[in-house]
Structure 1
């Protein structure tokens, strides 16, 4: 069951296009393209704590997640920010 906090985060997630977007890496940065879920103040949804979740199937898969109400829980997940 989704908590009120989880519902609030899901409600603000948007599918965004990454175009040459940089994320911190151990010895520099990753340069990513594609689609990811982004929260306007918390950052990008991530499972590894380093790069955004970019599933096989791209935008269509992310839209399926959103169509089902988003994530049930954010436990064990991260929200990461890109480099400026």
Structure 2
């Protein structure tokens, strides 16, 4: 396992389950490290705002797919209210 740190957001730290998913997808991780800390914060907050565990898992999977495709922000997300 690669022990290189994976970057977090400006307000939110990177949750372990999302980090594991990013580490298992090289292209998603490359995009993740290329986006700004504020953009990473948006992804993390979007994932953490899920009320159900099933929704959270879907968001992590969808997020990794979109990051793999080079998408830099979650779709239809008004933004992190914590910043």
User: Which TM-score applies when normalising by structure 2?
Assistant: 0.29
More helix by share: 2
User: Which TM-score applies when normalising by structure 1?
Assistant: 0.29
Larger Rg: 1
More strand by share: 1
